[in-house]
C-alpha cells in the first residue's frame, strides 16, 4: 500500500477492510474470534479491540499456514468448525459464509472458490477425474504447471474445516516450495490422504472475494462496491442522476420518489423519506430527512434531523444537534449547530444559529448570529414564535426574545427582548458636516 497505515486498516466505504470482514462474520455467532496480526500489529489490535477478539501475532510472516499455526494455541479444544477469513478481502457476504459452513458441516474440508476470467496470482482448484470431481489439491500460481494455470476455478483464501483436524494439519505443514513458506493450501492434500471429503462452495460474484494489495485495487473495489449499492437503490426506485458518482459509506434508506444528484456522499445511517431531493455535491452524515424536503447543492449535514418540506442550502451547514421542523428554510452560507427551529422558521442567508431554541415562523436576518460562547462556556439563545430579527444582529447568550418581538437591524443585544415590542440596540448615527476624506500623499 506504500503507507504507514497497515493494509487492513485502509478504508472501503467508510470502514476499515478488517472491520468489513469482522462485521460479515459477526452474525455467525462464533464461540471465539482470533485475529492474527503481523505488520502494524499494535495498530490493528487497537482498532478492532472492541469486537472482543483474541489476538495472535505472526512474526515473522512465513505464509498463510504459518499464520494459522500462530492461532492454534488460542483455538478451542472442544469439537467444532473453524472458519478462516482474510483481513484484506472485505466484501465477503454473510450468506456466502453460511453456505460454506453448511458445506463443511463440521466433518468436511470446505473451500470457498470462484471462477475468474483471469486467474493470475490465485491458487488453482485441482479436481479429481474420479470421485465426482472432488477437490484433490490447490496449487499456488507460483508453483503451478502451464496446464494447471489454464484452470479458471480458484481458491479465495477462505475455508471451513473441522477444528481438530485443522490443528493437526497445520502443525504438520512443511515449507517445501519455491517461496520457502508454509502454505495453508497444503492441508487439502492431507485431507485427501486421510480420506476426508474435500468440498467447495461458490462465491456469488468475483467482487466479494477480491483482495486488496495496492491503492489501485482498493479504489477499483470501492467503485465495484458502490456500483452494487447504486444498483440496489435504483431497483428500489431511487433516481440517481449518475450511479457512478455516488458514495455510500454506511447505510442509506430511501422512501419513494427520492432523487439524488451527482457527487453526493452519505455516511453513517442516513434516512431519506418520500419525495426527498438531494442536490449535487452534498455530504450527509447520520441524518434523517423528512418527506418532501429539498437539500440544495453543496450542503453539509451531520447528525441532524430535518422536517418534512424543509429547504436547506445551497452551501448550508447543519452540524450535530440541528433539528429543523416542518417547512423550515435554511439558506446559503447559514450554519446551524445544536439548535432547534420550529415550523416555518427561516434563516435565508449568511447567519449562524448555535445553541438556540427557535420558535415557529421566525425570520432570522442576513448576517445575524447567536453569540453562544463566552470563551469558556456555551450559552443558549431562546427565540419565541413570530420573532423578526433584522440583518447584522448579534444576540449575546444567554438571552430570550419574546413572542412577536422585532429586533432592529444592526442591534447587539445582551438583555432579553420583551414580547411584541421593537428592540433596537445600536450606536446613535452621527453626521459630521465639513469632514474631508484624507488624501494620499504625493511622492
Contacts of 34 (CB under 8 A, 6+ apart): 53, 54, 55, 56, 71, 74, 75
**CA atoms of 400 and 414, how far apart (whole Å):** 9
User: Cell digits for 119?
Assistant: 486467474
Known catalytic residue: 349? yes
C-alpha dihedral, 246 to 249 to 250 to 253, nearest 10°: -10
- Please give, one letter per residue, the 3-state secondary structure of the chain: CCCCCCHHHCEECCEEHHHHHHHHHHHHCCCCCEEEEECEHHHHHHHHHHHCCEEEECCCCCCHHHHHHHHHHHCCCCCCEEEECCCCCCCCCHHHHHHHHHHHCCCCEEEEEEECCCCCCCCEEEECCCHHHCEEEEECHHHCCHHHHCCCEEEEEEEEEEHHHHHHHHHCCCCCCCCCCCCHHHHHHHHHHCCCCEEEEECCCCHHHCCCCCHHHHHHHHHHHHHHHHHHHHHCCCEECCCCCEEEEEEEEECCCCEECCCEEEEEEEEECCCCEECCCCEEECCEECCCCEECCCCEEECCEECCCCEECCCCEECCCCEECCCCEEEEEEEEECCEECCCCEEEEEEEEECEEECCCCEECCCCEEECECCCCECCEEECCCCEECCCCEEECCEEECCCCEECCCCEECCCECCCCEECCCCCCCCCCCCCCCCCCCC
How many beta carbons lie within 10 A of that of residue 230, not counting itself? 20
- Please, are residues 118 and 94 in contact by the beta-carbon 8 Å criterion? no
- Of 39, 349, 379, 388, the catalytic one is 349
- Best CA proximity match to 151, nearest among 132, 174, 123: 123
Q: Cell numbers for 136, please give them.
A: 484433490
d(CA 116, CA 125): 12
The torsion angles phi and psi of 237, rounded to 5 degrees, stand at: 110, 0
Catalytic residues: 349
Amino acid at each position: 500500500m506504500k503507507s504507514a497505515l497497515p493494509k487492513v486498516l485502509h478504508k472501503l466505504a467508510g470502514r476499515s477492510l478488517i472491520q468489513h470482514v469482522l462485521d460479515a462474520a459477526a452474525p455467525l455467532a462464533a464461540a471465539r474470534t482470533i485475529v492474527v496480526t503481523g505488520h502494524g500489529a499494535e495498530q490493528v489490535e487497537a482498532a478492532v479491540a472492541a469486537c472482543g477478539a483474541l489476538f495472535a501475532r505472526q512474526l515473522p510472516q512465513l505464509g498463510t499456514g504459518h499464520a494459522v499455526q500462530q492461532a492454534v494455541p488460542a483455538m478451542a479444544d472442544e469439537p467444532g468448525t473453524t472458519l478462516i477469513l482474510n483481513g484484506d478481502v472485505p466484501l465477503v457476504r454473510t450468506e456466502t459464509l453460511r453456505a460454506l459452513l453448511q458445506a463443511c458441516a463440521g466433518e468436511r474440508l470446505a473451500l470457498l472458490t470462484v471462477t475468474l476470467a483471469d486467474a493470475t496470482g490465485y491458487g488453482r482448484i485441482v479436481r479429481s477425474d474420479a470421485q465426482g470431481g472432488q477437490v484433490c489439491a490447490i496449487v499456488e500460481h507460483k508453483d503451478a504447471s502451464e496446464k494447471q494455470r489454464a484452470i479458471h476455478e480458484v481458491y479465495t483464501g477462505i475455508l471451513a474445516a473441522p477444528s481438530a483436524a485443522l490443528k493437526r494439519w497445520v502443525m504438520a505443514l512443511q515449507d517445501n516450495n519455491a517461496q520457502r513458506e508454509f502454505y495453508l493450501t497444503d492441508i487439502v492434500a492431507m485431507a485427501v490422504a486421510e480420506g476426508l471429503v474435500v468440498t467447495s462452495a461458490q462465491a456469488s460474484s468475483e467482487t466479494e472475494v477480491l483482495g486488496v494489495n495496492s491503492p489501485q485495487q482498493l479504489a477499483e473495489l470501492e467503485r465495484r462496491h458502490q456500483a452494487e449499492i447504486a444498483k440496489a437503490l435504483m431497483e428500489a426506485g431511487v433516481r440517481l442522476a449518475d450511479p457512478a458518482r455516488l458514495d455510500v459509506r454506511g447505510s442509506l434508506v430511501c422512501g419513494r420518489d427520492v432523487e439524488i444528484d451527482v457527487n453526493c456522499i452519505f455516511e453513517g445511517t442516513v434516512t431519506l423519506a418520500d419525495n426527498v431531493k438531494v442536490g449535487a455535491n452534498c455530504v450527509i452524515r447520520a441524518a434523517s430527512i423528512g418527506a418532501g424536503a429539498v437539500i440544495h447543492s453543496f450542503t453539509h449535514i451531520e447528525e441532524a434531523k430535518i422536517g418534512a418540506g424543509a429547504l436547506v442550502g445551497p452551501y448550508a451547514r447543519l452540524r450535530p444537534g440541528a433539528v429543523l421542523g416542518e417547512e423550515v428554510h435554511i439558506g446559503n452560507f447559514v450554519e446551524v449547530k445544536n439548535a432547534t427551529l420550529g415550523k416555518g422558521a427561516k434563516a435565508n442567508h449568511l447567519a449562524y444559529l448555535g445553541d438556540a431554541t427557535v420558535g415557529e415562523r421566525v425570520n432570522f436576518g442576513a448576517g445575524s448570529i447567536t453569540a453562544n460562547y463566552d470563551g469558556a462556556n456555551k450559552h443558549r439563545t431562546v427565540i419565541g414564535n413570530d420573532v423578526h430579527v433584522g440583518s447584522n444582529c448579534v444576540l449575546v447568550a444567554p438571552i430570550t426574545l419574546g413572542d412577536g418581538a422585532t429586533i432592529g437591524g444592526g442591534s447587539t443585544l445582551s438583555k432579553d427582548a420583551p414580547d411584541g415590542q421593537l428592540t433596537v440596540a445600536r450606536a446613535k448615527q452621527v453626521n459630521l458636516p465639513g469632514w474631508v476624506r484624507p488624501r494620499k500623499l504625493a511622492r
